[in-house]
Structure formats: structure tokens, C-alpha cells
């Protein structure tokens, strides 16, 4: 007797009357059994429901070969022309001369610092980058590093001085408070290092999902998800890379992760951010200079 196998079904039957019958025939519906036996019945005869063919494939267990098994097909939605659109974006970004390529948060830390300090500086740069141009973030990080940028040095800096060092980043007053609170938590709970999990990162004051995903990728070398900021959110909707229009970066992230191959998750942020800084601008996008003009649904109406 063949070894035990696990049965996988790709679609469910709409009828509960389908069985395994040796002669390949289906049984008469319950309401018709008396008729089939030549017996009159006063009950109304129910019309037999149309059944849907049940596709079954088998997956062998314990490493056994299952040569006759039908492969299980999984349908995944993906945008039309996305591969060509992405190839065109790579071409337009081949020079890597956008602000994010030289001044992004992953370029603002001191490469000669100890690993723990580097990771802290990466997280701090990401916190400063929210709602702030890369040039402004890089300037603030340069001033902080000149003072000696560590957890201890930040905690020893008074709020007024810290505010002057990071100004004019967006929402700099709030960021002073977030940086102080987060630095205190890192000192008390993580020995001055940053958490190595997404959940712990987003629990820190002033750290959102985009920052946490980038911190995991840049500081720890772990791809935990797609980092979606306003550029990625805008471009994904313009290219129709989501099934429906999304209203927030987090909604866009979830939509992209449903279909975008995981091996592209790490690079997609930098590609689209630079593309959004140079060509697919928030206002008055440079559609005439875009290789995706004929493939972009938004270009037809902008």
C-alpha cells in the first residue's frame, strides 16, 4: 500500500453531493432516490445542482516521490507592465546622482565608529529624515557627529543645544524630545545599542514603520519589509502598482508586499525615492523625460 499522502485541493465544490464512486457516476439527488427506485413520491423533486469539477493534487510525505501529482497553481495579482516599468526606472537611475544616493540616512553615519555606535547613528539619521530633505538631514547629522554622536553624548546634551544642532529639520522640537526619550531607552534596555527586531524598533518614540524597516536593512542587514515613504507611496499609485488606490504609506507597503518579489524589497525604496526626487516629482512631474510615459496610467491624465 502506498505511503500516506496529504491531499491538497485547489478549488471547492459548490455541491455537497460529489463522492468517489467506482463507476464514475454521481448518485441520484436525495429527492430523486424514490424515483430512481421506481417508487412514487409525493415530495417535490429537487433539481440537481450543477457541480464544479474538483481538482486534486497529492503531495508525497516523508520525502517520497510523487511523479503523478498535479502541481498546485497559485494565482497572484500583479500590475500590468511592472517589469518593464521597473527596468526603465533602473535605467533612469543608473547614474545614482539623486540626493538620496549621497545624502540618504544610510550615508550619514561614521563608518569608522564601533558597530554599536554606527547602528545608533543610522537610527538617529532616520528619525531626523522624516518630513525633511536629505540635504537638511545630512547637515544636521554632520553637526551632531562633530560633537561626538553617541547615546551618552546625546543624553548629556541639553534640549536647547540639541535643538540648535538639528534645526531646521522638520518638526525639530518634537524630534528633540523623541531623540532624548529613545536614547534613554536604548541606554537602559539595550546597553546603548538599537533593537534587532521590527516590533521593538517601532515601539521606540519617534520611530515609524518606514524608519524601522530601513534600520533593519541598513543597520542589521535584515530585510523585514518594504520601506515606503511619500515618494514610494506616490509613485506606486501613479504606476498602478496597487490593486486600488491607497491612502497611506503603510497601506501601500502592504499592497506592494502582496505581489512584489521579496528579492526586490531591499532596493525598491532607494530606486523609487531617487526617481521621485528627480523625475516623478510630487508637483509638475517631468513626464516628458520619463521612459515610462507611454506605460504610466497617471501620465495620460497629468
Whether 210 is a known active-site residue: answer: yes
CA 204 from chain center: how many Å? 20
Strands 56-60 and 5-9, by their bridges, are antiparallel
Read off the C-alpha cell for 84: 518593464
Catalytic choice (46, 50, 65, 210)? 210
**Residue length of the chain:** 302
What does each C-alpha distance from 216 to 126, 158, 223 come to in angstroms?
Answer: 11, 29, 6
Q: Which runs of E-coded beta strand occur in the chain?
A: 5-9, 56-60
Can you spell out the DSSP letters for 226-241? ----HHHHHHHHHTT-
Residues contacting 127, CB < 8 A, separation 6+: 175, 178, 179, 182, 206, 207, 211
Can you spell out the DSSP letters for 245-282? --SSHHHHHHHHHTTS-GGGHHHHHHHHHHHHHHTS-S
Positions annotated as catalytic residues are 210
Amino acid at each position: 500500500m502506498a505511503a500516506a499522502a496529504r491531499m491538497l485541493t485547489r478549488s471547492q465544490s459548490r455541491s455537497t453531493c460529489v463522492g468517489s464512486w467506482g463507476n464514475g457516476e454521481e448518485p441520484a439527488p436525495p429527492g430523486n432516490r424514490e424515483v430512481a427506485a421506481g417508487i412514487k413520491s409525493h415530495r417535490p423533486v429537487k433539481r440537481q445542482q450543477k457541480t464544479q469539477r474538483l481538482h486534486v493534487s497529492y503531495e508525497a510525505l516523508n520525502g517520497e516521490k510523487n511523479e503523478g501529482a498535479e502541481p498546485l497553481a497559485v494565482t497572484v495579482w500583479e500590475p500590468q507592465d511592472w517589469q518593464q516599468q521597473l527596468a526603465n526606472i533602473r535605467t533612469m537611475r543608473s547614474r545614482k546622482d539623486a540626493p538620496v544616493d549621497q545624502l540618504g540616512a544610510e550615508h550619514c553615519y561614521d563608518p569608522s565608529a564601533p558597530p554599536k555606535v554606527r547602528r545608533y547613528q543610522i537610527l538617529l539619521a532616520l528619525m531626523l529624515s522624516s518630513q525633511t530633505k536629505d540635504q537638511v538631514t545630512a547637515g544636521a547629522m554632520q553637526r551632531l557627529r562633530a560633537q561626538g554622536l553617541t547615546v551618552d553624548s546625546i543624553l548629556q546634551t541639553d534640549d536647547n543645544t540639541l535643538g540648535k544642532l538639528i534645526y531646521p529639520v522638520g518638526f525639530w522640537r518634537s524630534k528633540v524630545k523623541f531623540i532624548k526619550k529613545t536614547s534613554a531607552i536604548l541606554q537602559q534596555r539595550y546597553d546603548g545599542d538599537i533593537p534587532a527586531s521590527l516590533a521593538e524598533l517601532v515601539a521606540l518614540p519617534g520611530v515609524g514603520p518606514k524608519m524601522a524597516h530601513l534600520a533593519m536593512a541598513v543597520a542589521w542587514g535584515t530585510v523585514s519589509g518594504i520601506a515606503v515613504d511619500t515618494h514610494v507611496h506616490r509613485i506606486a499609485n501613479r504606476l498602478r502598482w496597487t490593486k486600488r488606490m491607497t491612502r497611506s504609506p503603510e497601506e501601500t507597503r502592504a499592497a506592494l508586499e502582496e505581489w512584489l518579489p521579496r528579492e526586490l524589497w531591499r532596493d525598491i525604496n532607494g530606486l523609487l525615492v531617487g526617481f521621485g526626487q528627480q523625475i516623478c516629482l510630487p508637483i509638475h512631474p517631468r513626464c516628458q523625460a520619463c521612459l515610462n510615459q507611454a506605460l504610466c496610467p497617471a501620465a495620460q491624465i497629468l
